[in-house]
């Protein structure tokens, strides 16, 4: 945990929080700083068609809040189709799924055989290690 007592942090003023900042006390990045993360709506085939030519360090394909419930299956299939055609890219591919209990687990199960770098969970209520074990076997 980052804070020993989160309740005391909640009570601090903006000025008090500002005084606690210390950029010299940060951890070292393992893979370096990414310059950009582009968020794409998978319903826009024109944008998906550019996955092999984008300059962004990372591209997030958003299945969550950008997609109306009636079109989520279409968006999921568009992602799978694009990833099945993708031969190379300069970008890391991240899939932003719905909450695990609201379709996200099924989305991960469906996409797990396609090539992508990470899953972005929509809620902190789920621990990342629980679905990582599922993905890795």
Mean pLDDT for the stretch of residues 9-22: 89
Neighbouring CB atoms inside 10 A of 118's CB total 13
pLDDT reported for residue 66: 82
The conformation of residue 113, written as its DSSP 8-state character, comes to T
Q: Is residue 1 part of a domain?
A: no
Q: What would the mean pLDDT of 123-135 be, rounded to a whole number?
A: 57
Which domain, by its residues, includes 127?
A: 35-136
In a domain, 132, yes or no: yes
What is the reported pLDDT for 27? 67
So what's the pLDDT on residue 46? 93
pLDDT value of position 20: 84
Asked whether residue 20 is assigned to any structural domain, the reply reads no
Say yes or no to pLDDT of 9 above 90.
Answer: no
pLDDT of residue 102: 86
What was the pLDDT predicted at 116? 92
Give residue-wise pLDDT tens across range 40-54. 999 999 999 999 999
Tens digit of pLDDT for each residue in 84-99?
A: 999 999 899 999 999 8
Per-residue pLDDT, 65? 85
How far apart CA 78 and CA 73 sit, in angstroms, is 9
- 83 falls within a domain: yes
For residue 93, what are the contacts with CB-CB under 8 A and spacing of at least 6?
51, 58, 59, 61, 83, 86, 115, 116, 117, 118
| Domain-located, residue 88 | yes
Q: Across residues 28-51, what is the average pLDDT?
A: 85
Instruction: Report the domain count for the chain.
Output: 1
Q: What CATH code is carried by the domain that includes residue 109? A: 3.20.20.60
């Amino acid at each position: 945990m980052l804070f020993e007592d989160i309740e005391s942090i909640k009570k601090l003023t903006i000025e008090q929080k500002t005084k606690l900042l210390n950029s010299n006390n940060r951890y070292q990045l393992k893979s370096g700083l990414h310059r950009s993360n582009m968020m794409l709506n998978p319903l826009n085939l024109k944008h998906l068609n550019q996955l092999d030519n984008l300059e962004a360090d990372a591209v997030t394909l958003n299945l969550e809040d950008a997609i109306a419930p009636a079109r989520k299956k279409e968006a999921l299939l568009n992602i799978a189709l694009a990833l099945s055609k993708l031969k190379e890219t300069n970008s890391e591919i991240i899939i932003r799924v719905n909450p695990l209990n609201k379709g996200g687990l099924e989305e991960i199960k469906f996409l797990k055989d396609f090539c992508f770098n990470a899953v972005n969970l929509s809620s902190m209520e789920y621990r990342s290690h629980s679905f990582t074990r599922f993905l890795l076997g």
